[in-house]
Structure 1
Amino acid sequence: MRAVRLRQYNTTPEVTEVSEPRATGPLDVVVRIGGAGLCRTDLHIVEGQWREKSGVTLPYTLGHENAGWVHQIGSAVRNVQVGDPVILHPIATCGLCAACRAGDDVHCSDSCFPGINADGGFADLVATNARALVKLAPSLAPADVAALADAGLTAYHVARKAARLLAPGQKVVVIGAGGLGHIGVQALKALTAAQIIVVDRSNEALKLAETLGADHLVPADGTQVGAVLDLTGGAGAEAVVDFVGEGGAVEDGVAMLRRAGSYFVVGYGGTLSVPTIDVISTEINFIGNLVGSYTDLAELMALAAEGRVTLHTVPYALGDFPRALDDLDHGRVQGRAILVP
Structure 2
Amino acid sequence: MKCYCITKFSQPLELIERETPQPEGTEVLLKTRAAGVCHSDLHIWEGGYDLGHGKRLSLQERGIKLPLTMGHETVGTPVAMGAQANGVEPGRNYLVFPWIGCGQCDVCQSGQENYCATPRSLGIYTHGGYADHILVPHSRYLLDIGDLNPAEIAPHACSGLTTYSAINKIDPAIHTKHPIFIVGAGGLGLMAIEILRAMGGHGAIVVDIDPAKLQAAKNAGALAVVNGNDPDAAQQVMAANGGKQLHAVIDLVGSPSSTQLGFNVLTKGGTLVIVGLFGGAAPWPLAFIPMRALRIQGSYTGSLNELKSLLELVKAGKINSIPVTTHPLAEASDVLARLHEGKVIGRAVLVD
- Interval containing the TM-score (normalised by the shorter chain): over 0.9
Shift of 1:294: 0.7
Match of 2:239 among 227, 230, 234: 230
Q: Deviations over 1:167-189 (max 9, x none)?
A: 54322101111111100111111
Contact 1:30–1:127 (CA under 8 A) maintained in structure 2: yes
Name the structure 2 match of 1:149: 157
Name the structure 1 match of 2:131: 123
The one-letter code of the counterpart of 1:285 is: R
Contact 2:100–2:114 (CA under 8 A) maintained in structure 1: no
Contact 2:95–2:154 (CA under 8 A) maintained in structure 1: yes
Name the structure 2 match of 1:277: 287
| Structure 2 CA distance for partners of 1:52 and 1:259, relative to 1, 3 Å | farther
The one-letter code of the counterpart of 2:304 is: Y
| Structure 2 CA distance for partners of 1:215 and 1:6, relative to 1, 3 Å | same
Whole-Å separation in 1 of the counterparts to 2:101 and 2:12 = 30
Name the structure 2 match of 1:137: 146
**1:316 to 2:327 alignment:** yes
| Structure 2 CA distance for partners of 1:227 and 1:267, relative to 1, 3 Å | same
The one-letter code of the counterpart of 1:90 is: P
TM-score (norm 1): 0.93
SS at match of 2:174: coil
The one-letter code of the counterpart of 2:232 is: T
Instruction: Structure 1: state its 5+ residue gaps.
Output: none
**1:304 to 2:303 alignment:** no
Name the structure 1 match of 2:86: 78
The one-letter code of the counterpart of 1:328 is: L
**1:196 to 2:204 alignment:** yes
| Structure 2 CA distance for partners of 1:97 and 1:10, relative to 1, 3 Å | same
| Structure 2 CA distance for partners of 1:190 and 1:335, relative to 1, 3 Å | same
SS at match of 2:36: strand
Name the structure 1 match of 2:51: none
Contact 1:104–1:293 (CA under 8 A) maintained in structure 2: yes
Which stretch shows the higher mean deviation, 286-295 or 91-100?
91-100
Identity %: 30
Name the structure 1 match of 2:4: 4
How many correspondences in the alignment? 339
**1:293 to 2:303 alignment:** yes
Whole-Å separation in 2 of the counterparts to 1:202 and 1:306 = 32
Whole-Å separation in 2 of the counterparts to 1:226 and 1:110 = 43
The one-letter code of the counterpart of 2:100 is: A
Name the structure 2 match of 1:218: 226
What's the C-alpha RMSD, in Å, of the aligned pairs? 1.9
Contact 2:211–2:227 (CA under 8 A) maintained in structure 1: yes
| Structure 2 CA distance for partners of 1:247 and 1:281, relative to 1, 3 Å | closer
Q: Deviations over 1:214-234 (max 9, x none)?
A: 222222223210112223355
Whole-Å separation in 1 of the counterparts to 2:187 and 2:166 = 15
Whole-Å separation in 2 of the counterparts to 1:53 and 1:163 = 37
Whole-Å separation in 2 of the counterparts to 1:83 and 1:267 = 36
Whole-Å separation in 2 of the counterparts to 1:142 and 1:167 = 30
Match of 1:241 among 245, 250, 265: 250
Q: Deviations over 1:243-297 (max 9, x none)?
A: 1112611111110111110001011223223222111111101111111011111
Whole-Å separation in 1 of the counterparts to 2:183 and 2:152 = 24
| Structure 2 CA distance for partners of 1:92 and 1:167, relative to 1, 3 Å | closer
Contact 1:250–1:270 (CA under 8 A) maintained in structure 2: no
Name the structure 2 match of 1:267: 276
Name the structure 2 match of 1:31: 30
Whole-Å separation in 1 of the counterparts to 2:101 and 2:45 = 25
Whole-Å separation in 2 of the counterparts to 1:30 and 1:155 = 28
**1:340 to 2:351 alignment:** yes
Contact 2:193–2:203 (CA under 8 A) maintained in structure 1: no
Name the structure 2 match of 1:254: 263
Name the structure 2 match of 1:89: 97
Contact 1:27–1:73 (CA under 8 A) maintained in structure 2: yes
Q: Deviations over 1:167-214 (max 9, x none)?
A: 543221011111111001111111133342111223332232233232
Contact 1:97–1:110 (CA under 8 A) maintained in structure 2: no
Contact 1:73–1:82 (CA under 8 A) maintained in structure 2: no
Q: Deviations over 1:294-319 (max 9, x none)?
A: 11111221222233321311111111
Name the structure 1 match of 2:73: 65
Contact 1:163–1:192 (CA under 8 A) maintained in structure 2: no
Whole-Å separation in 1 of the counterparts to 2:158 and 2:108 = 18
Name the structure 1 match of 2:47: 48
| Structure 2 CA distance for partners of 1:170 and 1:185, relative to 1, 3 Å | same
Shift of 1:112: 1.2
Name the structure 1 match of 2:55: none
SS at match of 2:177: coil
Whole-Å separation in 2 of the counterparts to 1:109 and 1:197 = 35
The one-letter code of the counterpart of 1:254 is: F
Name the structure 2 match of 1:186: 194
Q: Deviations over 1:121-169 (max 9, x none)?
A: 100111112221111122x122221111111111111122225351543
Shift of 1:239: 0.3
